[in-house]
Amino acid sequence: MNKYKKYYDMLEKQSIIYDKTQNCCIGQTWKHHLMPVINNAIFLAEKYGANKDIVELAAVFHDYANLIDYEDQDNHHIKGAELAKDILIGDGFDEAFVDKVCLCIKTHRASVVFNKFSIEQICVADADAKAHLDNVVELLLWRGYLKEDIQTANAFVKAKIQRSYAKMSENTKELVKSKYDAIMSILF
């Protein structure tokens, strides 16, 4: 059993609430974004020798604020870190550990450029970016559900994929280069 199951369950339940207004299928956010980010983060932590606990918890909470208040998505990395800190400190985690988790959450976004000084920050940001590449079809369907025309949806997804790839570390870019090239060849 996963030692962070409590948090997985909490985020999955919140993503169902979010999906009722923002997605075309209940469970879509959990299945096609949050779990892929978590799985990618754990994989990258193991591959790059990062602290797996910091990376996993940051991946779990990286979009938590978005699930609660999508209207303020521009600040979700900051609010998400604050929410995670309150929860984790309340559950007895060491403050220095929690601060590292929160720093990973704050620096995960592609559209807000932050210097990443730890391998844990790189793992979480790269995991989020990789999930976008892994689930490009879900991104297109989501934009269609929001009733965007094909041109607008394509432009949104193309820009998101480009930002996601650009924010990745060089090592992770090498891992996903062929996928990135394939995606860019079909987006117009």
Whether the per-residue pLDDT at 154 is higher than 90: the answer is yes
Q: Read off the pLDDT of each residue in 160-169 and give the average, rounded to a whole number.
A: 94
pLDDT, greater one: 69 or 40: 40
Whether the per-residue pLDDT at 121 is higher than 90: the answer is yes
Whether the per-residue pLDDT at 1 is higher than 80: the answer is no
Whether the per-residue pLDDT at 114 is higher than 70: the answer is no
- Residue 101 is predicted with a pLDDT of 98
Q: Read off the pLDDT of each residue in 107-124 and give the average, rounded to a whole number.
A: 81
- Closest CA relative to residue 127, chosen from 139, 119, 117: 119
Confidence of residue 120 (pLDDT cuts 50, 70, 90): very high
Whether the per-residue pLDDT at 96 is higher than 80: the answer is yes
- Residue 117 is predicted with a pLDDT of 83
- Residue 141 is predicted with a pLDDT of 87
Domains contained in the chain, number: 1
Segments forming the whole domain that contains residue 41:
5-186
E strands in the chain? none
Instruction: Indicate if the alpha-carbon torsion angle 111, 108, 162, 131 is positive or negative.
Output: negative
Residues 98, 111: Cα–Cα separation, whole Å? 24
- Closest CA relative to residue 158, chosen from 166, 169, 170, 168: 166
pLDDT, greater one: 22 or 17: 17
Find the CATH number of the domain harbouring 98: 1.10.3210.10
CB 77 within 8 A of CB 112: yes
- Closest CA relative to residue 61, chosen from 93, 105, 94: 105
Whether the per-residue pLDDT at 20 is higher than 80: the answer is yes
- Residue 22 is predicted with a pLDDT of 80
Length of the chain: 188
Q: Read off the pLDDT of each residue in 6-27 and give the average, rounded to a whole number.
A: 88
Helical spans, DSSP H, in 23-75:
28-29, 35-48, 52-61, 64-68
- Residue 185 is predicted with a pLDDT of 97
